[in-house]
Amino acid sequence: MLVKIWLIVLASLVVTSVIFYFYSDINVGTSYRLFHVKADNFLDFLFPVLIAGFFASLILGVLAALFFPHSFAGPIYRIEKELIDIGKGDLKKEIRLRKGDEVKDLTNAINVMVYNLRNQIKPISEMSWEIKKLIEGSDSESPPETLKKIKGVNENFQQALKEFKL
């Protein structure tokens, strides 16, 4: 991204320099005296060039501003929308970008984070189901044995929860 910004600034400077070069290559002599142009110094002749260079740079900057941010704004908007769904608990989401979009490193980091969260929460979900089955099947087994199994699963459950900092 920084290289692109430097290239835009460099292109702007090149345009301004080219305008300065071609305008300042004019011989100042009798031709200006014939048109009754009064100038105290050469900078009076360069003022219109400064204005032209400013507007050329402004136009180049506006054109760059129209096309340059598209590769950043689109992916960031998409990431924002996907993160809202992930924040609501949908850990099946995977953010995919189009070819040529920027911020791929950020997208990859988010996808790895969601994958890791999914893998950490999966055992907790399985333990929850196991506790539910033990409670539902407690009629067939003796209560002390069922309670012992529930306590064992609960310890595993608590251990899995300790991986998270709440």
Q: What is the pLDDT of residues 4-29, one digit of tens each?
A: 777 777 777 777 777 777 766 665 55
Q: Which of 40-44, 67-71, 143-147, 155-159 has the lowest mean pLDDT?
A: 40-44
CA distances 5 to 50, 60, 65, 97, 156, Å, are 22, 12, 10, 22, 53
Contact 74, 101 (CB under 8 A): yes
Q: Are 118 and 91 in contact (CB under 8 A)?
A: yes
| pLDDT digit string, tens, across residues 123-158 | 888 888 888 787 777 666 677 777 788 888 888 888
Report the 10 Å Cβ neighbour count for 103.
19
- Tell me if the pTM is above 0.75: no
